[in-house]
């Protein structure tokens, strides 16, 4: 139930067309202090229309609104402040939650629409570092939100398995590689070779030319180079899978950059036919001056293709394959111009669906205030972080609850969830300083705090001796604070998706947890009186919302901690 919409409708009936219901809705505010009401309507806009003092208008409206859904209506200066009837509206809020359970918050805004999401996309032959976490968990949460809103989702892991870096890696392997060492520790050894290449190239710049030449041979189908590249790719995917399993994330496609090798000629030919290609220092580019974007490089002077060429081919393939209504690229903010160029070229080719392509940028995860770098070997491995988080979570859980039945399962849910939540609670455009200690605390704005709140609510339900719950109405402020928040869940989900901002949902779950813990601290929930079932029904509704909210963020919600 949208309480603002309810208030808007009642005001509209009294105002009789002075403002539309939509205009009224946009003006309604939520008072900062609960003592001033649940909602407030400022009368300044009406004062301009009616040429009457806003204070006088507030008095008139307060006297004219009369409905059982309001327990109190006050004119306070130029504002009409309303208090809802807690008992009356409490039933209308709680019953749909209890009835729908995990379907609560679902919508149909995406009905019969498809959204394709390009996320995670690590480079093969390099370790999966903390730097890859953001695209992975932000993209997964957005996909979950889209599905909750009724969209068909297609999650694509556009693996970085092509490009000049593989020429460099092949050169490094031939110069310094050891077949047995690579077989024993593929990712670690290949990463070591990649870092060494860049260290040596600083002293010997000709290595860069050697790397580019090796990639050109790879592009031209050299059998030895292709065999090496394929082994790098297979070993990398095996290593990545163990991390995705830890995160409980699945993909619909692992079609990486190499998949589009035979699909780029069509794009290049289209650009030629429409006279969009120009020579610039020997390279072929598409100028985007009218869009005030730098030229998009399609082919280097040696004829080698680039990220843009492959992304153009990928966009065209995805539109043909999935007929997407939205295509979301969850990629760091440093790629903003790249995606503007890709979109700009597609628009010049006449593809109107390019307007549905959206780059979803995000900030960096920093280590001691610095960006992580694979070239310089300055990385924190995500798998190490997840395993350490699980280990520390188990230590905390066993200390707090020595008799817990499934400590390993719960530790996994809490440790991994702590890492995910620490990322998602932040606005995606903000940079985040890596801190395992901050992630794992059971207090404050953390994943374990929300999970523990949910487990505490489940513990109350286990102690409840009744078989059914039914909300018959409560009048206390603490329960009303919880109810108002639970009521917002459907709108929070829509807003989180429309703004591509899982942080909105994460912060909301913190507020629900805080309100419930305040309620738990002040009210004897299991007291044997006539309001017992109503109080327990609130507890159950809290577990439904917290569990579903955590799952939408890509986290597990253990019932015991």
Alpha carbon of residue 190 to chain centroid: 31
Integer Cα distance of 467 and 309 in angstroms = 62
pLDDT reported for residue 279: 92
The whole-number pLDDT of residue 386 equals 92
Instruction: Give the pLDDT confidence of 285-331 residue by residue, as tens digits.
Output: 999 999 999 999 998 887 777 889 999 999 999 999 999 999 999 99
pLDDT digits (tens, 9 = 90+) for 102-141: 899 999 999 999 999 999 999 888 888 888 899 999 999 9
Location of structure tokens 């409840």: 464
Q: Would you say residue 492 has pLDDT above 80?
A: yes
CB 129 within 8 A of CB 379: yes
What is the reported pLDDT for 372?
A: 64
**Sheet order of strands, 432-433 included:** 370-371, 365-367, 432-433
- Listed in order, the ranges of the chain carrying CATH 3.30.1360.70 are 3-84
Which residue is associated with the tokens 């505490």?
Answer: 456
The 8-class DSSP code of residue 540 comes to: H
The residues near 381 (Cβ < 8 Å, ≥ 6 apart) are 127, 128, 129, 130
Tokens 């920093």, residue? 366
Report the 3 state secondary structure along 267-304: HHHHHHHCCCEEEECCEEEEEEHHHCEEEEEEECCCCC
% of residues, the chain, pLDDT over 90: 75
pLDDT at position 127 is 82
Q: For residue 269, name the pLDDT band (cuts at 50, 70, 90).
A: very high
Residue 244's pLDDT band (cuts 50, 70, 90): very high
Are 455 and 558 in contact by the 8 Å Cβ rule? The answer is yes
- The predicted model gives 244-257 an average pLDDT of 95
The 3-state DSSP class for residue 178 equals coil
Contact, 144 vs 551, CB < 8 A? yes
Is residue 346 predicted with pLDDT exceeding 90? yes
Q: How far apart are CA 194 and CA 129, in angstroms?
A: 15
Structure tokens at 61: 């409206």
What pLDDT score was predicted for residue 365? 86
Helix 447-463 to helix 532-552 angle (10° resolution) is 150
CA distances to 40, 70, 311, 540 from 34, in Å = 11, 15, 51, 25
Cα 372 to its chain centre, rounded Å, is 21
- Per the prediction, the chain carries an average pLDDT of 92
CA dihedral 74, 79, 80, 81 (to 10 degrees): -60
Quote the percentage of the chain above a pLDDT of 70. Answer: 99
Mean pLDDT of 154-172: 93
Query: Is 165:128 a contact under the CB 8 Å cutoff?
Result: no
Question: Can you give the pLDDT at residue 444?
Answer: 84
The pTM assigned to this predicted structure is: 0.92
**How many of the other CB atoms lie within 10 Å of CB of 138?**
27
Q: How far apart are CA 345 and CA 335, in angstroms?
A: 16
Residue among 490, 493, 489, 511 nearest 501 (CA): 493
Q: Which residue spans of the chain are classified as CATH 3.40.50.620?
A: 114-371
At 377-422, the pLDDT tens digits run 567 788 888 999 999 999 989 998 888 989 999 999 999 999 999 9
**CA gap 224, 552 in Å, rounded:** 45
Give the integer Cα–Cα distance in Å for 368 and 179. 36
- Asked if residue 370 has pLDDT above 90, the reply is no
The region of weakest confidence among 27-31, 218-222, 274-278 is 218-222
Q: What is the pLDDT of residue 378?
A: 62
What is the per-residue pLDDT for 176? 95
pLDDT given for residue 118 in this prediction: 98
For residue 374, name the pLDDT band (cuts at 50, 70, 90): low
Annotation: CATH topology of 382-552? Isoleucyl-tRNA Synthetase; Domain 1 (1.10.730)
Query: How many Å apart are CA 493 and CA 501, to the nearest integer?
Result: 10
In angstroms, how far is CA 499 from the centroid of its own chain?
10
In 445-506, where do the E strands start and end? none
Kindly list the distances between the CA atom of residue 557 and the CA atoms of 410, 414, 458, 546, in Å, as whole numbers in the listed order. Answer: 9, 8, 10, 8
pLDDT at residue number 377: 55
Tell me what the mean pLDDT of segment 536-560 comes to. Answer: 97
Q: Out of 3.20.19.10, 3.40.718.10, 3.50.50.60, 3.30.1360.70, select the CATH number for domain 3-84.
A: 3.30.1360.70
Encoded tokens for 214: 């090796």
* pLDDT of amino acid 325: 98
Superfamily of domain 114-371: HUPs (3.40.50.620)
End-to-end CA distance of the chain: 32
CA–CA separation, 251 and 204 (whole Å): 41
Residue 195, number of CB atoms within 10 A of its CB: 19
Nearest to 135 by CA among 334, 400, 280: 334
Short-list 553, 121, 130, 191, CA closest to 383: 130
Q: What is the pLDDT of residue 131?
A: 82
Q: What is the CA radius of gyration of the chain?
A: 28
Chain centroid, CA 492 distance in Å: 13
């Amino acid at each position: 139930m949208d309480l603002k919409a309810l208030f808007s409708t009642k005001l509209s009936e009294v105002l009789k067309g002075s403002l539309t219901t939509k205009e009224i809705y946009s003006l309604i505010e939520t008072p900062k202090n609960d003592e001033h009401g649940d909602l407030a309507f400022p009368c300044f806009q009406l004062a301009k229309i009616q040429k009457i003092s806003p204070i006088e208008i507030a008095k008139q409206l307060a006297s004219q609104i009369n409905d059982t859904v309001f327990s109190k209506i006050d004119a306070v200066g130029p504002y009409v402040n309303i208090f809802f009837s807690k008992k009356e509206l409490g039933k209308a809020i709680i019953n749909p939650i209890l009835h729908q359970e995990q379907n609560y918050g679902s919508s149909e805004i995406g009905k019969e629409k498809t959204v394709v999401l390009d996320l995670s996309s690590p480079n093969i032959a390099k370790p999966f570092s903390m730097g890859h976490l953001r695209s992975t968990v932000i993209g997964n949460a957005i996909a979950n939100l889209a599905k909750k809103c009724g969209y068909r989702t297609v999650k694509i892991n556009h693996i970085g398995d092509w490009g000049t870096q593989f020429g460099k890696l092949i050169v490094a392997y031939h110069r310094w590689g050891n077949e047995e060492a690579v077989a024993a520790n593929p990712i670690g050894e290949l990463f070591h070779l990649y870092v060494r290449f860049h260290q040596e190239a600083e002293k010997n710049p000709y290595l860069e030319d050697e790397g580019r030449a090796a990639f050109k041979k790879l592009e031209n189908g050299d059998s030895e180079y292709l065999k090496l590249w394929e082994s790098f790719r297979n070993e990398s995917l095996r290593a990545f899978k163990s991390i995705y399993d830890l995160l409980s994330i699945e993909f619909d496609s692992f079609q990486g950059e190499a998949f589009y090798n035979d699909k780029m000629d069509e794009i290049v030919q289209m650009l030629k036919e429409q006279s969009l290609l120009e020579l610039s220092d020997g390279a072929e580019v598409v100028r985007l001056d009218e869009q005030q974007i730098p030229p998009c490089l399609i082919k280097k002077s040696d004829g080698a293709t680039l990220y843009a060429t492959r992304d153009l081919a990928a966009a065209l393939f995805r539109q043909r394959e999935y007929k997407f209504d939205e295509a979301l690229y969850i990629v760091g903010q440093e790629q903003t111009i790249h995606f503007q160029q890709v979109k700009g070229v597609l628009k010049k080719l006449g593809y109107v669906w390019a307007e549905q392509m959206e780059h979803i940028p995000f900030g960096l995860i920093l280590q001691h205030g610095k960006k992580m770098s694979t070239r310089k070997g300055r990385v924190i491995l995500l798998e190490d972080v997840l395993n350490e988080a699980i280990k520390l979570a188990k230590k905390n859980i066993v200390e707090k609850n020595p008799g817990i039945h499934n400590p390993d399962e719960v530790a996994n849910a809490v440790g991994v969830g702590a890492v995910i939540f620490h990322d998602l609670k932040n606005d995606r455009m903000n940079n985040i300083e890596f801190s395992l200690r901050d992630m794992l605390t059971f207090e404050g704005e953390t994943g374990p705090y929300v999970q523990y709140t949910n487990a505490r609510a489940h513990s109350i339900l286990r102690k409840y001796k009744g078989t059914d719950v039914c909300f018959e109405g409560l009048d206390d402020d603490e329960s009303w604070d919880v109810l108002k928040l639970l009521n917002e869940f459907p709108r929070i989900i829509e807003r989180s998706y429309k703004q591509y901002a899982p942080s909105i949902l994460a912060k909301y779950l913190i507020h629900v947890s805080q309100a419930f813990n305040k309620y738990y601290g002040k009210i004897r929930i299991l007291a044997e009186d006539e309001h017992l079932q109503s109080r327990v029904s609130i507890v159950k509704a809290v577990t439904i919302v917290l569990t579903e909210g955590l799952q939408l963020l890509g986290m597990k919600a253990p019932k015991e901690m």
